[in-house]
Structure 1
């Protein structure tokens, strides 16, 4: 953070053939955004200039060689590469993955070195970004390797927060991936994040069942009876406000989710389908549990509309605001917990 309190907000530009650049540029078309942070894009001045011309967006930006040279009150572009990439809107190309990775690596290095305070990642293509140096199913797994902590894929809005026991795992492997150690770890991570990052003093967490109808007492699979229920009871007896398992098919439609501060879903689609249905365009993907803060919008590269000026920047803008809010909440939490006499000031 700078002396004036401005948060240095790093942005990895994502797949250049998708809508990443568009939602980033549209977000900072509104100069009032510069009142909240100092944006630092990891790309190149020539690339941003090309995107602006193609999308008919006009933003004045400041080209720098390193993130530490960023100027307050301006959109800053770190020149990660000098060459001009071959941009083909709407196509999943090897070139698109190559430069998405260059941007991400530079941004994460800056995050680790403290040259930026938080990171917001524009969407990547999980296929074309794969190389011998990047063999991960997405941002979350890569950041888990690069940063300290126990990561949790946490989809958040003001009124709904959904974490995942397993994220980018094939459905056939979900039940075998879920075990008592994993459940305890994810529950503790989500509780810590709710306290530290969202100011919730006594978080209530609901767990969704692994099987349909939470197994119907073992009739439809035994995992809920043999794994989930014993751990929920164990943690509840130890003082955790953990409840479930709840049948996923009726949990959201009945508005039961409103009774909890967060929901822990067993697998990717079980949590993300209802989340995106209820919150699409306003949702944010937050990698909780790590030593540094990273958020992203709740959508992908959207090749089908790339380069057409149709992309909605709402979710990216929410990702920016969420990163700023979490940074401030975490800073306040750490200050308060260092002084036990001030703990009563933590918000509910």
Structure 2
């Protein structure tokens, strides 16, 4: 664990702010004390963004593969040969095409363990769709590529950790995805991640209701009584400290989340709106429940500010450091588990 970890970075939509926040993050020399970054894209595209944002004296070291990455430098793997027309702030087929080429090459190296973690810059979920990408987002794509049975979209900040049962699905389909089995599965993933990735010994998890006022005893919907409460009970009986269901508005409004280690929301906006309101530009999207580590900033492509030197690198930088933290936490735990005497001693010390 003493060596610098190799961190892969996909560039996202080339017409957005991805490369701007990447370059701003890697311009900080402190980064190289902790990792060796490898960006999957093309130096010409990166140079265009660097100049558009007015960033001077930054150069990528071109390498052919992750094994050739040089410590102490920002490395770039050119994922295509042709020149690319960049239209800053525009969503088009070109942006999606090259975002996918970057993501595919980076994910290849992630699942083959040539890199230790992957940080993904924002894609446009519409223009990236193709024969090779038929997914609602990064989370589902990474899950399939990593051969995961399930995964959890887990939003992380200093003050909040929020996961969702249903992720990138239309509102009209949310109820179909809120099943007892899905809730129990997400609770297990969240509980395990809190223990393994964040070293929370006995996580306390709050579960939100689906309907207004958590159904109000069946008056405003029966899902809480028939699905969510039984799922919580089953998880609790399996040793997971899950509580609820709580009405979402009051739960966030009175800051009840401070009493819990994490929150499981039923759908995307129920969890992400309060999370981003509290943690925007500092939050991180982590794909929990997989053998590989992938994080991303909690913002989108930022077309409206692309090329204007206005994009904050804070969330991207936090995503990079969280990925490093999780990799090291997992490896240290593996080392401890392989040494029963040391693990027993540490457990007694905690008690």
Deviates more, 1:80-89 or 1:334-343: 334-343
CA contact (8 A) 1:148 1:291 kept: no
Question: Match of 1:325?
Answer: 325
Q: 1:47 matched to which residue of 2? A: 45
Q: Which shows bigger deviation, 230-239 or 10-19? A: 230-239
What is the Cα deviation at residue 47 of structure 1? 1.7
Name the structure 1 match of 2:11: 13
3-state secondary structure, aligned to 1:235: helix
What 5-or-longer segments of structure 1 have no aligned partner? none
**CA root-mean-square deviation:** 1.4
Q: Find the counterpart in structure 1 of residue 255 from structure 2.
A: 255
- Which digits, 9 at most, give the CA deviation of each residue in 1:124-172, with x for residues without a partner? 0000000011111100010111003321000001221000011011111
Query: What's 2:130 paired with?
Result: 131
TM alignment of 1:166-315, pairs within 5 A? 166-315=166-315
The 3 A distance-change label for structure 1 pair 64 and 238 is closer
* C-alpha distance in structure 1 between counterparts of 2:338 and 2:182, whole Å: 29
Structure 1 residue 339, shift from structure 2 partner: 3.1
* Counterpart position of 2:61: 62
Equivalent residue, structure 2, for 1:122: 121
Equivalents in 2 of 1:257, 1:197: separation in Å? Answer: 20
SS at match of 1:40: strand
CA contact (8 A) 2:188 2:235 kept: no
CA shift digits 1:291-331 (9 cap, x unpaired): 10000000000100001111011000000110011111111
* Superposition TM-score, scaled by structure 2 size: 0.96
Check whether the contact 2:10–2:120 (CA below 8 A) recurs between aligned residues.
yes
Equivalent residues of 1:123, 1:297 under 8 A apart? yes
**SS across alignment from 1:290:** coil
Instruction: For residue 102 of structure 2, give the secondary structure of its aligned residue in structure 1.
Output: helix
Q: Which runs of 5+ in 2 are unaligned?
A: none
- What is the CA-CA distance between 1:343 and the residue it aligns to? 3.1
Q: Determine helix, strand or coil for the equivalent of 2:151.
A: strand
TM-score between both structures, scaled by the size of structure 1: 0.97
Q: 1:34 aligns with which of 32, 35, 60?
A: 32
Q: Is the 8 A contact 2:181 2:231 kept in 1?
A: no
Q: 1:89 matched to which residue of 2?
A: 88
SS in 2 for 1:198: coil
Kindly indicate whether the alpha-carbon contact (under 8 Å) linking 2:187 and 2:235 is maintained by their aligned counterparts in 1: no
What residue number does 1:106 align with? 105
Report deviation, 1:52: 1.5
- Distance in 1, Cα, partners of 2:195 & 2:3: 23
How many angstroms does 1:40 deviate by? 0.3
How many residues were matched structurally?
A: 346
In structure 2, distance between residues paired with 1:237 and 1:45: 54
Q: Cα deviation per residue 1:73-105 (whole Å; 9 max; x = unaligned)?
A: 100000111112110000001111000000000
How many Å apart are 1:341 and its aligned residue?
Answer: 3.0
Specify the SS of the correspondent of 2:46. helix
Q: Is structure 2 residue 339 aligned with structure 1 residue 339?
A: yes
Distance in structure 1 (CA, Å) of the matches to 2:341 and 2:218 = 49
How far 1:253 moved relative to its partner? Answer: 1.6
